[in-house]
Amino acid sequence: MHENAVSLILKDQNIEYIISLPCDRTKDLCGILEKQFRYITISREEDGIGILSGLSLVGKRGVLQMQSSGLGNSLNALMTLPYLYGLPLPVIASWRGYYQEKIPAQIPFNEKIPELMNLYNIPCTIIREYKDIDLIASVISDAWKENRPHIALISPRLWEGERDCFQNPHEKTRERIVDLSHKGVFSKPIMQRADAIEVIASMMTNELVVSNIGVPSKELYHARDVPANFYMLGSYTQASPLGLGIALGTDRKVVVLDGDGSLLGTSVLPVISGESPENLIIICLDNGVFGSTGDQCSPAFNLVDLELLAKASGFHKTCKVHTPEELKAAYAQALTGGLFFIHVIIRPGNRSVSNIPLLPSEIKDRFCSQAGRKMKD
């Protein structure tokens, strides 16, 4: 089976993690990879970019496996995370809309992918037949040698003649009882985001920290700039996926400073709770607005309770805080261990702070020196 050949190539390349949003053209491949690797199923391809980037930051080798249409869904994250910071990110993409495609909706975007990748200077290796399958190894090797994304675009022709041996993997029962009790009390907020960040920063010691894009990263930089801080300069919604990837690849405590708008824009909370890294703390700084773009109200302003969303996603340790004292107590509790979600209710408003005077490469290199990752593998 050709799928087994792919698995052997990945093992030879020391791949540990498969981040996957399945495609029906590669369902047999997905079934094999799920059994032989640490396999993380995602709901949005964009989140896969964040998770795999986090793993790469701490030197863990993974592959993002999806159909080629996902390159469109995740193009901004691809350019503003692994491309911008210089991170190895190999992708195995089944090429839809190219060979005997029966679904019209797959054609307009997918048939132009090689030209699109060329436009953005992302290496794209096309694998049309089984004789070219060893090129997958070259894609992975290049991604790590050059610290960049590299796409293996695999034609469905590769699987022609293969016997469909896909078996329903869902042998585990879904029978369960969901017993969820929640009372979300929103009091009048006292702190602004910068105040909350200062409280958290004052308690930090050896944690690896990911901060959300825009003003939050600038406020963290001015509150406590240390090499263990990874400042997001782009990639809206990708702070928590990035934090998950980092946490999976290290024993260090990992803290994500995320926002209500960003968390509402991602599907990663169930993925995080499914993996349940014991060393990850998600701190949602919820001012109910999109604070970096003019304080436009988010759905969290008077509708959504993000602590309840975290609980419904499978988080068992959560709390809601409003004051500096409550935040200090919650953070101290979170440091004792276990996946933790802290919902911080804050007032809108940004502190007047200057831009972060660091290049993306400097942010990455500083962080990797703290996380123990050597940049040339």
Q: How far apart are CA 377 and CA 365, in angstroms?
A: 14
Query: Shortest CA distance to 213 belongs to which of 81, 349, 54, 340?
Result: 81
Residues 6+ apart with CB under 8 A from 239: 50, 210, 211, 212, 213, 232, 256, 257, 258, 262
Q: What percent of the chain has a predicted confidence (pLDDT) above 70?
A: 95
| pLDDT tens for each residue of 265-284 | 999 999 999 999 999 999 99
pLDDT of residue 233: 95
Query: Shortest CA distance to 4 belongs to which of 153, 159, 144?
Result: 159
Bridge pairing between strands 62-67 and 89-94: parallel
pLDDT average, residue stretch 91-115:
90
Q: What is the distance between the terminal CA atoms of the chain, rounded to a whole angstrom?
A: 31
pLDDT average, residue stretch 23-28:
82
pTM, to two decimals: 0.95
DSSP-assigned letters across all residues of 51-68:
HHHHHHHTT--EEEEEET
Q: Sign (positive/negative) of CA torsion 32, 38, 42, 44? A: negative
pLDDT over 70 at 373, yes or no: no
- Phi, psi of 279, rounded to the nearest 5 degrees: -105, 20
Contact, 189 vs 322, CB < 8 A?
A: yes
Q: How far apart are CA 285 and CA 3, in angstroms?
A: 44
Per-residue pLDDT band for 322 (boundaries 50, 70, 90) equals very high
pLDDT average, residue stretch 166-179:
73
Cβ-in-10-Å burial (0-12, 13-18, 19+) of 98 comes to buried
Tell me the CATH number for domain 2-159.
3.40.50.970
Residues of the chain with CATH 3.40.50.970: 2-159, 193-371
Protein fold of 193-371:
Rossmann fold (3.40.50)
Q: What share of the chain is helix, strand, coil (3-state, %, to 5)?
A: 45, 20, 40
Higher pLDDT, 254 or 169: 254
CA distances to 5, 39, 136, 248 from 52, rounded to whole Å, are: 23, 12, 17, 10
Residues 6+ apart with CB under 8 A from 186: 305, 320, 345
| pLDDT tens for each residue of 200-214 | 999 999 999 999 999
Enter the DSSP assignment of 29.
H
- 81-96 burial string, b = 16+ CB within 10 Å, else e? bbbbbbbbbbbbbbbb
Q: How far apart are CA 179 and CA 124, in angstroms?
A: 48
The SS3 assignment for 10 reads: helix
- Phi, psi of 52, rounded to the nearest 5 degrees: -70, -35
